[in-house]
Amino acid sequence: MRKFSAFALLREGLSGQAGWQRQWRSPEPKPRYDVVIVGGGGHGLATAFYLAERHGIRDVAVVEKGWIGGGNTGRNTTIIRSNYLHDESAAIYEHAVKLWENLAQALNYNVMYSPRGVLMLAHNTHDIQSLKRHVHANRLNGIDNEWLSPQQCKAFCPPLNIDRAMRYPILGGALQRRGGTARHDAVAWGYARAASARGVDILENCEVTGIRRGASGAIEGVETSRGFIGANKVGVVAAGHTSVIMNMAGVRLPLESFPLQALVSEPVKPAFPCVVMSNTIHAYISQSDKGEMVIGAGTDAYTSYSQRGALHIATHTLDAICELVPVFRRLRMLRNWGGIVDVTPDRSPILAKTPVPGLYVNCGWGTGGFKATPGSGDVFAWTIAKDAPHPINAPFTIERFREGVLIDEAAAAAVAH
């Protein structure tokens, strides 16, 4: 892998841009790997990267049924924050934020991490109490979060409407200044390039069709559309399709898959300086570096694998945004799309060993997995390498649903997760 640098830019500029390499290799599958990661999204690629980088395990393949960056990694609204209520969640999301801060350097790839601030709005007494509780809980965990009055919200984000006559007036907000956004495609590409350079084989257009287990029940490998691939360990990081993949190994999970939508406006000049979220009226919005307003809508009511949501879900969010930011009423929407998210009953992920020896699962990120990408990959790589969870992901087991030790972010994070 040739390093990206200002010098490389200059050299290519003088030589007709002819020397750029493909960013990752596209090898034929080997018959056997030490570790096979199922799913070439951000979390899977990050897992492969940290296996190679931090644990010296380079005999790794990432199998992806489509193309890199074509799933939820390329479909989310790119919001990064760590202002979660419970200690377990705060630890894992904050671990991720700390990795985000130096990710571009670590990968030698500009992931365009932009800590522009995430402002969560309160519209009623319950919101105020809940968000203030988050502020205090976060600060006890060493995570920045502060309470803003409506006027301070307006000063931080001038396009906001703080008129008290609104149907749901803005009564204040919780601001995490270190929160922000990153370029989602670049995250997938950067991890793929850095992992490939460290020896990881990235196998695109390679769909897993079965999981082979030996007489003892332990993992032997995966059947794929490009043939059988043997493996000592298999890590499943398949987001919305986790239930389908894990069924192949006979493991049942507490997951349901829902379509989650996002949409973008036509690109406009810089007009929106931060990320604004509202759980109560369900809106979240930020502006991409291309100039589009990136808007997250909610999940549909019903489980589905269709990668398509209903129009009334998106219009519901647009109603809220038009009231919060009246200047956007004349914006035209350019595109909308859906992704399939795997949701657990407590809205917290599962990163754990499974009852099958050699099989590991990283799933259940629901509607908010992008922000966790580096942290999730790091602790999941640890779990696979050491066959034991890292202290940060130790609480995120499958068994917590049997033991009743839920990490209940469903009430804490409401819908906008």
Partner 1 sequence: MLLIKCPWCGERPELEFSYGGEAHIARPADPTRLDDEQWAAFLYFRNNPKGLHAERWRHVHGCGRVFNAQRDTVSDAIVATYKAGEKPPGQSGSSP
| Phi (first) and psi of residue 243, to 5 degrees | -60, -40
- Examine residue 253 and tell whether it contacts partner 1 (CB under 8 A): yes
Which residues from 256-275 bind partner 1, rule CB under 8 A? Answer: 256-257
- Examine residue 248 and tell whether it contacts partner 1 (CB under 8 A): no
Least Å distance, CB 303 to partner 1, is 6
- Examine residue 311 and tell whether it contacts partner 1 (CB under 8 A): yes
Options 162-170, 254-262, 277-285, 287-295: segment touching partner 1 (CB under 8 A): 254-262
Least Å distance, CB 351 to partner 1, is 17
Instruction: Return the number of the residue (47 or 242) whose C-beta is nearest partner 1.
Output: 242
Rounded to whole angstroms, the Cα distance separating 283 from 57 reads 42
Which residues from 346-375 bind partner 1, rule CB under 8 A? Answer: none
Instruction: Return the number of the residue (138 or 304) whose C-beta is nearest partner 1.
Output: 304
Locate 177 and state its tokens: 């200044």
Rounded to whole angstroms, the Cα distance separating 45 from 63 reads 10
- Examine residue 308 and tell whether it contacts partner 1 (CB under 8 A): yes
Locate 49 and state its tokens: 């990267």
Contact 331, 272 (CB under 8 A): no
| Kind of pairing between the strands at 146-148 and 172-176 | antiparallel
Contact 47, 362 (CB under 8 A): yes
Cα 280 to Cα 126, 127, 131, 151, distances in angstroms: 10, 8, 11, 20
DSSP class of residue 114 equals B
Least Å distance, CB 259 to partner 1, is 9
Least Å distance, CB 184 to partner 1, is 25
Locate 78 and state its tokens: 């790119």
- Examine residue 410 and tell whether it contacts partner 1 (CB under 8 A): no
Helices (H), 142-235: 150-156, 184-197
Which of 225, 345, 355, 388 is close enough to bind partner 1 by CB under 8 A?
345
Options 46-54, 104-112, 137-145, 400-408: segment touching partner 1 (CB under 8 A): 400-408
Rule CB under 8 A: which residues touch partner 1?
A: 241, 243-244, 252-257, 301-306, 308, 310-312, 345, 401-404
